[in-house]
């Protein structure tokens, strides 16, 4: 292997990891900045209507998982549990990212989005013991559980990941063009 080949491979790998760092890092920063703004400018449980009967900014502290699951468990055990799950998820996503082909931009984007969101909520749990939520969508009195930028990134990233893997599966296993030929 020539020096030029080695340098080219290092440059390609660096671009891939720079992409991961840029996407995940941007999401992490955006998530933490928006949460800090909410924490500094609103009182806990305060709600500011943005679109009447549809969307408000509502400052909530969520000690549980999605939709408040596990909120009633002890603080130390809950933090350790969610921190462990988050670290395992981040390691899994890193491994998945490394194995995703460099030309699979949608797969890499989806993984980076989920990783950035996971890091945002992990940062909250480690710093505060819970997660700040503030995006509150509802119709009349029917509320979707409040969420944040990290949750949004995870949800969109998972949806893109599912779409990516379905597309890849279809490419790898195209439907039989002539099913009657096998009858």
Domain ranges in the chain? 12-173
Instruction: Give the per-residue pLDDT at 180.
Output: 61
| CB-based contacts of 31-36 (< 8 A; 24+ apart in sequence) | 31/116, 31/117, 31/120, 31/121, 31/123, 31/148, 31/149, 31/150, 31/153, 32/120, 32/123, 34/134, 34/148, 34/149, 35/124, 35/132, 35/134, 35/148, 35/149
Are residues 134 and 148 in contact, defined by beta-carbon separation less than 8 angstroms?
yes
3-42: pLDDT as tens digits: 777 777 777 778 889 999 999 999 999 999 999 999 999 9
Instruction: Give the per-residue pLDDT at 181.
Output: 55
Instruction: Give the per-residue pLDDT at 82.
Output: 82
- Averaged pLDDT, 43-68: 88
* Active-site residue list: 133, 151
Please provide the average confidence, as pLDDT, over all residues in the chain: 88
Minimum mean pLDDT among 56-65, 127-136, 157-166: which range?
Answer: 56-65
3-state class (DSSP) for residue 63: coil
Q: For the whole model, what pTM was predicted? A: 0.83
């Amino acid at each position: 292997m020539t020096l030029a080949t080695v340098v080219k491979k290092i440059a390609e790998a660096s671009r891939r990891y720079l992409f991961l760092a840029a996407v995940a890092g941007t999401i992490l920063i955006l998530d933490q900045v928006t949460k800090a703004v909410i924490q500094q400018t609103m009182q806990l449980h305060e709600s500011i209507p943005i679109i009447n009967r549809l969307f408000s900014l509502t400052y909530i502290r969520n000690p549980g998982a999605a939709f408040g699951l596990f909120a009633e468990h002890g603080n130390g055990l809950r933090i350790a549990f969610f921190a462990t799950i988050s670290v395992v998820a981040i390691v899994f996503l890193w491994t998945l990212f490394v194995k995703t082909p460099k030309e699979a931009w949608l797969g890499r984007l989806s993984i980076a989005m989920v990783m950035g969101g996971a890091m945002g909520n992990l940062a909250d749990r480690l710093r505060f013991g819970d997660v700040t939520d503030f995006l509150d969508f509802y119709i009349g009195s029917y509320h979707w559980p409040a969420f944040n930028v990290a949750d949004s990134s995870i949800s969109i990233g998972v949806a893109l990941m599912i779409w990516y893997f379905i597309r890849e599966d279809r490419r790898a296993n195209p439907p039989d063009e002539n099913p009657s030929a096998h009858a």
